[in-house]
């Protein structure tokens, strides 16, 4: 039987930072079954006390103390959290000290700066990039490629749309995407609209077995999901990428984050914000 440990992500704001790092850390421990609970917006002493009650309740129920990953800006609220019957690892408290010393500066101790709207320019850049991705999804138009930072190219269900949207929301990057259909695949010629922006092209490929699986969920027993079709499309697509010198990635074992950051890295694209 796998032992269960409960992990709490506690934050005075969204909890995303605590989740991201905490999740990265616990994935390093195989063989344990982690139950993950996020407690966001713990921004007062009373809310912190309620969180502690909940953590202590879990400790009693499970007979083992939980692990708490937290990002608390306010020392007073953190002090309450530290009273919990748990291993409390606060990311801010751990690093703010060394940073203050290095930068010869006191931190402002203000909650929610990281995922706050910050400045409206960032918000606007992000929404504009998202609208660009939506308006230039799936080759619906090729007119706006002049504005694009990157144009993702690949066969149906190779991961173009989620990657485009992730690039927009996470990095503010303008990503269009274009599906390779039988038209391009048969002729082995990329359309002129793509050739006009050849330096912006990035290819996505995927293993045939995985693609069949994905397409079968959408249209079971179709030609679209057949082994022959999938193998043909992928072979032709990679032939096109190589013929035109389009860099490409096999996405089979990659998450959307990995695909997006690889595109960013390999194309040398700049983020519009952090």
Contact of 37 with 98, CB cutoff 8 Å:
no
- Of residues 98, 146, 245, 268, which one binds its own copies by CB under 8 A? 98
| CB-nearer residue toward its own copies: 229 or 251 | 251
195 binds its own copies, rule: CB under 8 A: no
140 binds its own copies, rule: CB under 8 A: no
Segment lying near its own copies (by CB under 8 A), choices 194-202, 220-228, 235-243, 258-266: 258-266
Residues in 116-135 that interact with its own copies by CB under 8 A: 116-118, 120, 123-124, 126-127, 130, 134
14 binds its own copies, rule: CB under 8 A: yes
Q: Which of 258, 230, 266, 259 is nearest to 157 (CA)?
A: 230
| CB-nearer residue toward its own copies: 108 or 192 | 108
Give the three-class secondary structure for 274.
Answer: coil
| Sheet arrangement for strand 248-250 | 175-179, 150-154, 201-205, 248-250
| CB-nearer residue toward its own copies: 75 or 188 | 75
| CB-nearer residue toward its own copies: 82 or 170 | 170
- Please tell me the distance from the alpha carbon of residue 127 to that of residue 269, in angstroms, as a whole number: 18
Q: Convert residues 202-241 into a mask of x (bound to its own copies by CB under 8 A) and - (unbound).
A: --------x--xx--x------------------------
CB of 274 to its own copies, least distance (A): 5
Query: Tokens 């048969």 appear where?
Result: 186
Contact of 9 with 38, CB cutoff 8 Å:
yes
| CB-nearer residue toward its own copies: 45 or 87 | 87
- Please tell me the distance from the alpha carbon of residue 268 to that of residue 274, in angstroms, as a whole number: 16
Backbone angles phi, psi at 248, to 5 degrees: -145, 160
- Of residues 83, 144, 162, 235, which one binds its own copies by CB under 8 A? 162
| CB-nearer residue toward its own copies: 174 or 240 | 174
- Write the CA distances from 150 to 99, 165, 166, integer angstroms: 36, 12, 13
- Of residues 8, 10, 12, 15, which one binds its own copies by CB under 8 A? 15
Tokens of 151: 């144009």
Segment lying near its own copies (by CB under 8 A), choices 54-62, 105-113, 226-234, 236-244: 105-113
Contact of 211 with 250, CB cutoff 8 Å:
no
- Please tell me the distance from the alpha carbon of residue 61 to that of residue 59, in angstroms, as a whole number: 6
């Amino acid at each position: 039987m796998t032992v269960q440990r409960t992990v709490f992500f506690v934050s005075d704001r969204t909890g995303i930072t605590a989740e991201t790092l905490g999740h990265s850390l616990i994935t390093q421990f195989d063989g344990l079954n982690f139950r993950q609970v996020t407690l966001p917006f713990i921004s007062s002493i009373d809310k912190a006390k309620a969180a502690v009650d909940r953590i202590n309740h879990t400790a009693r129920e499970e007979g083992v103390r939980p692990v708490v990953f937290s990002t608390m800006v306010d020392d007073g609220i953190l002090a309450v959290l530290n009273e919990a019957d748990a291993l409390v690892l606060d990311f801010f408290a751990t690093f703010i000290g060394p940073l203050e010393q290095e930068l010869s500066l006191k931190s402002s101790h203000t909650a929610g700066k990281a995922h706050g709207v910050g400045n409206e320019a960032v918000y606007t850049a992000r929404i504009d990039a998202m609208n660009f991705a939506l308006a230039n999804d799936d080759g619906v138009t090729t007119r706006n490629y002049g504005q694009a930072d990157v144009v993702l190219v690949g066969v149906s269900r190779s991961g173009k749309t989620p990657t485009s949207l992730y690039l927009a929301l996470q990095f503010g990057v303008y990503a269009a995407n274009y599906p390779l259909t039988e038209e391009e695949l048969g002729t082995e010629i990329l359309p002129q609209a793509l050739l006009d922006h050849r330096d912006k092209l990035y290819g996505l490929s995927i293993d045939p077995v995985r693609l069949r699986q994905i397409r079968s969920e959408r249209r079971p027993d179709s030609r679209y999901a057949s082994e022959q079709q999938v193998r043909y499309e992928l072979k032709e697509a990679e032939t096109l990428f190589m013929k035109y010198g389009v860099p490409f990635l096999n996405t089979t074992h990659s998450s959307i984050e990995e695909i997006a950051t690889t595109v960013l890295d390999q194309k040398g694209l700049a983020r519009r914000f952090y």
